[in-house]
Structure 1
């Protein structure tokens, strides 16, 4: 089956939501007894109650970042209906953009190192010759320096507004919690991620299609996206009913993340781990086939990958008394740091294309790949 010509009715609603917009109906939540991760829920609606409330939230974040590297954010002021609207826009862009236009706007990340435009299915090269069944449309928040498909153009003003609100009204508060947790000036991380400055952060609409043939599914052990750590500071995944995102615990066991309606699942990335000398853990995660009662459905959602501004060098924040007391040290050898832009582009170019990624990984395996002189782990 060729990318861009999908039977969109497979397990999903495909009704029009007005103005040519398709409505994505997600699968019902699973009733199967599977192992779930016990992630911290941070209800940020108490933010405006003042410093005491904020410090309580920061304490929750500290616990989450020193254990799972994940937490669930709620109470952030963007309604579930607004999130659903964005998912519908993404579903429309992925389903209604003609294949020819998708190819014209294909990102070619292995050459550019930037997530922009479409990633078609079968771009990631997995083990045993199997390729992925994931389709994406990626864009940077200003939406002004890349070509856009015709399917998104009627919605650009509201998409841009959504991007700005997510960054300024939600992400900035999250970064202020990180600063409070580390006893740093409250805008430390905000200043590393200034909205108006250039960086390689990107938003993403993404659909996972449950369309591996049985032989290929066996070859990859039911894994749709292999175990990894995100390379930026934090990643924001707007929660979806399909149980598919999995977290790897300290014992190497993979556990599903629960759906929190209207919530955001947030994980720590490699650059946050660098800033904290490893005290905050870059979360190990993957995407796997869901429980049996959710099979043969599509997983569709909206994501934000936050990368520091281009010239930021995410090394140990030595001024943090928390990090001083923890006795951590810079994770860079001989003071050889790397700027966010250089590392991000080198990392993106390798995703799903490196020889390490193509290898078969036994359960519990940790494989290391050197990218731009930096060791990057992958997990089986």
Structure 2
């Protein structure tokens, strides 16, 4: 693996934060241009498909288009909102934990989910905000005042991210030779689903006990749009001898990755790569890590199974059992499956996602 040491420090690091160390191996993710993708550049679209098949992660440079610059501005505003959100008392934040109602929206406190088979607990807190709530197509959920006051900012960020998601889906749709709009019609903006914004906070870990903050997993849905400024995200590239490597945050870029739904729709052709969050490397480990994520999921009623109409998607093999499960049920199982406060016995593998399926198909 190689690092992105060829870029300058100004391009590589965020002002006011400790620099990402140059001696840490990093994932050699492709760096794609939003401007070129929006323009339909054939080479750039092919590179997106390549990344989606090989590892399911890539950088998206947002600085070369007006839409991208606007999205970066929305993200900056919501990072400030996130800091204020997590400054609230634990007692107040816990009143917005809706998991007892089988909901994955709202607050999750630190140490409520397992991160490994040994039963170690996570070291981050987060808050999920429903897209359907923000755009008014579902009943509103109770929320802290800081989130009520920033609903317009959240909607702008969600819509901007959804445009990125739709672009990715349409390019993949074309590359897979699917009938026009097949994928985008499963992810309509004003249809009910599990789309959400997640605010995340991970405080510095003890110097003598720095370990995984969020356990290895694949994402639940279709496309993830991630903004973070400190290291911590790690991916496990394909291959029997692969080792965990950091994904270096780059200013002006989002990190895009595919989720389980894309694996199920394409019977393993596209990849939802396993990843986790560890302590930030080097001196970054002494700082609080904030992240901002937009998760796009298929509409609630969509069944996660192989799509028809493509000559590239592998057929269902005779001995292959295709699980019949709706997007909504899949997300609930995955989102709440490792909550120690909800389950006496946690099936760690059951909550892991499609990674094993993806690896099996490639053997």
**Contact 2:334-2:351 within 8 A present in 1 as well:** no
Three-state SS of the structure 2 residue aligned to 1:321 is coil
Unpaired runs of at least 5, structure 2: 1-13, 358-363
**Contact 1:370-1:376 within 8 A present in 2 as well:** no
Aligned ranges for residues 259-338 of structure 1 at < 5 Å? 259-323=249-313, 327-329=314-316, 333-334=320-321, 336-338=323-325
Structure 1 residue 293 displacement after superposition:
1.8
Three-state SS of the structure 1 residue aligned to 2:192 is coil
Matching residue within 324, 330, 346 for 2:333: 346
**Contact 2:203-2:288 within 8 A present in 1 as well:** yes
Matching residue within 147, 152, 166 for 2:147: 152
**Contact 1:313-1:340 within 8 A present in 2 as well:** yes
In 1, the alpha carbon distance for the partners of 2:213 and 2:257 equals: 19
After superposition, the C-alpha distances for 1:316-354 in whole angstroms (9 at most, x for unaligned) are 12311222xxx4437995555211111111221203446
In 2, the alpha carbon distance for the partners of 1:38 and 1:267 equals: 14
Distance verdict in 2 for CA 1:285–1:376, change over 3 Å: closer
**Contact 1:118-1:138 within 8 A present in 2 as well:** yes
Matching residue within 209, 216, 222 for 1:233: 222
Q: TM-score normalised to the size of structure 1?
A: 0.78
What's the counterpart of residue 118 of structure 1?
107
Two-structure CA RMSD over aligned residues (Å): 2.8
Distance verdict in 2 for CA 1:186–1:347, change over 3 Å: same
Equivalenced residues, count: 329
In 2, the alpha carbon distance for the partners of 1:376 and 1:33 equals: 29
**Contact 2:197-2:292 within 8 A present in 1 as well:** yes
Structure 1 residue 370 displacement after superposition:
6.9
What's the counterpart of residue 11 of structure 2?
none
Q: TM-score normalised to the size of structure 2?
A: 0.82
In 1, the alpha carbon distance for the partners of 2:38 and 2:356 equals: 39
In 2, the alpha carbon distance for the partners of 1:263 and 1:297 equals: 21
Three-state SS of the structure 2 residue aligned to 1:57 is helix
**Contact 2:20-2:281 within 8 A present in 1 as well:** yes
Matching residue within 96, 101, 112 for 2:92: 101
Three-state SS of the structure 2 residue aligned to 1:63 is helix
Unpaired runs of at least 5, structure 1: 1-23, 359-366
Tell me, yes or no, if structure 1 residue 369 matches structure 2 residue 350: yes
What's the counterpart of residue 7 of structure 1?
none
Tell me, yes or no, if structure 1 residue 49 matches structure 2 residue 39: yes
Distance verdict in 2 for CA 1:56–1:25, change over 3 Å: closer
Aligned ranges for residues 61-210 of structure 1 at < 5 Å? 61-75=48-62, 77-79=67-69, 80-95=72-87, 97-108=88-99, 111-126=100-115, 130-141=120-131, 142-143=133-134, 145-167=140-162, 169-210=163-204
Distance verdict in 2 for CA 1:258–1:357, change over 3 Å: farther
Distance verdict in 2 for CA 1:293–1:334, change over 3 Å: closer
In 1, the alpha carbon distance for the partners of 2:277 and 2:234 equals: 6
Query: Greater share of strand residues, 1 or 2?
Result: 1
